[in-house]
Structure 1
Amino acid sequence: MQLEITGHHLEVTDSMSNYVREKADRLKRHFDQVMKIHFILEVNKQQHKAEATFHVNGNHMFAEAVAEDMYAAIDALTDKLDRQIVKHKEKTKDHHRQEAAQLVAAAEETD
């Protein structure tokens, strides 16, 4: 997995970079086919914004979060990314095999 972290009007410190990497590892735990994630951390006056674009199996997904603290924005962003990845994983999952197994189990119970 490639991970890019950039800052707009902000110097990305080592602690911020490490924090983002920890959160990205959490995303990889749910879906290991994430190819590339690009995080952009931004500060506008009192508003801290974190946004990310990520690529999985030919799809591009985007999420952003705004908070008063950069770490809170990163947390909210990774929660959004996590929900999107789980939803994408459910869409790509083959449900027909599961339905067939349920029908077989139901037939066995009636016998």
Structure 2
Amino acid sequence: MNLKFVGQNLDVTAALKDYTVSKLERIIRHADQVISATVTFSVLKVQKKAEIDLHLSGKDIHIDCVDNDMYAAIDCLMDKLDRAVIKYKEKKQPSHQTPEIITDIVTESE
């Protein structure tokens, strides 16, 4: 997985990188087909903004979160991303359930 960090009006420190990578471990458990991720940190006057562009095979996900603390924004970002990846994974997997009506008709004719 290619991981890129971008800082707008902010220097991306090693502590921010390490914290984000440790949080991304949880996401990688759900999505095994991650191609690349771009994490952007920015400062808007008082509030801090964290956003991510996650490229999966067949899907691009963009999530952003704004908070007064950068670490809280990263936590919020990873929670949103976790829900989005799980939702995508559930939609991607086909459901192979047979209707009960068809199985009842088959058992009555035997």
TM range (shorter): 0.7 to 0.9
Question: What percentage of aligned pairs have identical amino acids?
Answer: 41
Superposed CA RMSD: 1.8
Larger Rg: 2
Other-structure match for 2:8: 8
Aligned match of 1:61: 61
1:58 Cα deviation after fit: 2.3
Per the TM alignment, residue 26 of structure 1 is displaced from its structure 2 partner at its CA by 1.0
CA-to-aligned-CA distance 1:28-57 (integer Å, 9 cap, x gap): 011111111110000111110001111111
Q: Pick the structure with more helix per residue.
A: 1
TM-score (norm 2): 0.86
Gaps of 5+ in 1: none
Aligned length in residues: 104
User: Normalising by structure 1, what TM-score?
Assistant: 0.86
Moved over 3 A (4+): none
Q: Which amino acid aligns with 1:8?
A: Q
**Equivalent residues in 2 for 1:17-56 (5 A)?**
17-56=17-56
Alignment-mate amino acid for residue 84 of structure 1: A
Extract unaligned runs of 5+ from structure 2: none
Distance 1:37 1:84 in 2: 14
